[in-house]
Structure 1
Amino acid sequence: MAVAGIDEAGRGPVIGPLIVSGVSFEAEKLSELVRMGVKDSKKLSNKRREELFHEIVRVCTDYLVIKVEPWEIDRVIGRGLKLNKFEARLFSEIINNLKPKQVIIDLVDVNERRFRREVEKYLVYVPENILMEHKADEKYPIVSAASVIAKVIREREMDKIRREYGDIGSGYPSDPKTIEFLRRWYSERGEFPPIVRRSWKTLKRIRGLELGGGFSLFGRDLQQDRS
């Protein structure tokens, strides 16, 4: 029986892509993940994530990665679609392609029933069991494996951006380096680079600061709506 885990990386940053990944294993091989020491990607070093990435993709039954560029996120937000609903569609696409008997999802919505309805709405292939939990990447090795894949791909994409644009920080709105990079870029050019999510309110705050506004640039970006 194939069991899949689904997770994402890069939901909140103002810079770089959103990565959604799914990975499947035969149930009798799930113990391999424990043996490898797979756990939530946030608790692993970059080096260890890279090592585990290669091990996971070598022994898994199948895996799939979806990369969503900043301009694609902006287009979705511009059409009035909430980020949670968009992610539900992406998770459905992972399920439709991997076709697992059971799937475990790291829940991004505070409302499990609402998110489940959105995922199931777009399913062509319906697993026998769909489990959705908050912090599933900490509880289930199969979801931890998906989180490792997503995080590694996201970091590789960010490394490409850094090679072209220099020190951009982590890409998160709470990172002073990221804010300084964006503020300086906008101040010198009057626009933002194509690596940013223009629908994020962080950019509106930076524009306001350059025009003489006095509000804070830091904290959780309000565009990360969980409704």
Structure 2
Amino acid sequence: MICGVDEAGKGSVLGPMVVAAVGCKNMDDLVSLGVADSKKIPPKSREKISSEIKAQFPFIIVIRSAQEIDILRQTMTMNEIVARSHAQALSSLPCSCVYVDACDVNEKRYGETVSSFSRPGCTIISRHKADNLFPPVSAASIIAKVERDRIIKELSHEYGDIGSGYPSDQVTITYLSEYIRHHNRPPVIARSSWETVKNLLHKKSQSSLLDF
């Protein structure tokens, strides 16, 4: 079996990071489903393709919550967290060759990091933009994206409109700013170790001092 691994939500300030791994016998087995980089596929099509992948191929999903990421970042970098999560997703799939989307500027170094957390005898091939290059990684990208979108939608029902959860999303930043303004702390779904949150807390602190 060969496998592809990818994640969604690595850089988000709200919500989890979702990692998915998909296995297949041949590289082209997934092509007929229309797999591609998940960001290039419309949401409804992504959901349909994700369901078809899950019905026909083995897959694993690993979810890292915002709180868990904050705890792990006390002792490791975000790239290491992703690498460990990639390796965990692979641990239940009997793969001999794995393609991963490199989260490090150095492809070789990232592949070696994932390999160090993986079982012996599993070849790790790490490439930038692997979700464009290898169908199994495209498939993993789709599953991870659909799962994260589902979680963000659930969080929005519970917490209000949080946007996409990314720092580049003004809806997300507005939500965070308002929450911190009213509660003097970030919500539990926020990654408090992110500079975005630290800056908003600092801004709130400075504003409070001025008010005083």
- Shorter-chain TM-score bucket reads over 0.9
Q: Which residue of 1 aligns with 2:210?
A: none
Q: Which residue of 2 aligns with 1:42?
A: 39
SS across alignment from 2:32: helix
Report the number of matched residues.
207
SS across alignment from 1:131: strand
Q: Which residue of 1 aligns with 2:151?
A: 157
Deviation at 1:151, TM superposition (A): 0.3
Question: Could you list the runs of 5+ residues in structure 2 that have no partner in the other structure?
Answer: 208-212
Deviation at 1:177, TM superposition (A): 1.0
1:110 aligns with 2:105: yes
Residues in 2 aligned to 1:204 and 1:93: alpha-carbon distance in whole angstroms: 30
1:137 aligns with 2:131: yes
TM score, norm. by length of structure 1: 0.87
Deviation at 1:114, TM superposition (A): 2.1
Residues in 2 aligned to 1:126 and 1:194: alpha-carbon distance in whole angstroms: 39
1:51 aligns with 2:45: no
Residues in 2 aligned to 1:176 and 1:190: alpha-carbon distance in whole angstroms: 20
Q: Which residue of 2 aligns with 1:202?
A: 196
Residues in 2 aligned to 1:32 and 1:88: alpha-carbon distance in whole angstroms: 26
What do you get for the CA RMSD once the two structures are aligned? 1.3
Question: Structure 1 segments of 4 or more deviating over 6 A?
Answer: none
Superposition pairs for residues 159-174 of structure 1, below 5 Å? Answer: 159-174=153-168
Residues in 1 aligned to 2:46 and 2:160: alpha-carbon distance in whole angstroms: 23
Corresponding residue to 2:83 among 83, 88, 95 = 88
Residues in 2 aligned to 1:108 and 1:63: alpha-carbon distance in whole angstroms: 21
Identity, in percent, stands at 38
Residues in 2 aligned to 1:90 and 1:211: alpha-carbon distance in whole angstroms: 35
Deviation at 1:32, TM superposition (A): 3.9
Question: Could you list the runs of 5+ residues in structure 1 that have no partner in the other structure?
Answer: 214-227
Residues in 2 aligned to 1:6 and 1:181: alpha-carbon distance in whole angstroms: 31
Indicate conservation of the 8 Å contact 2:112/2:124, yes or no: no
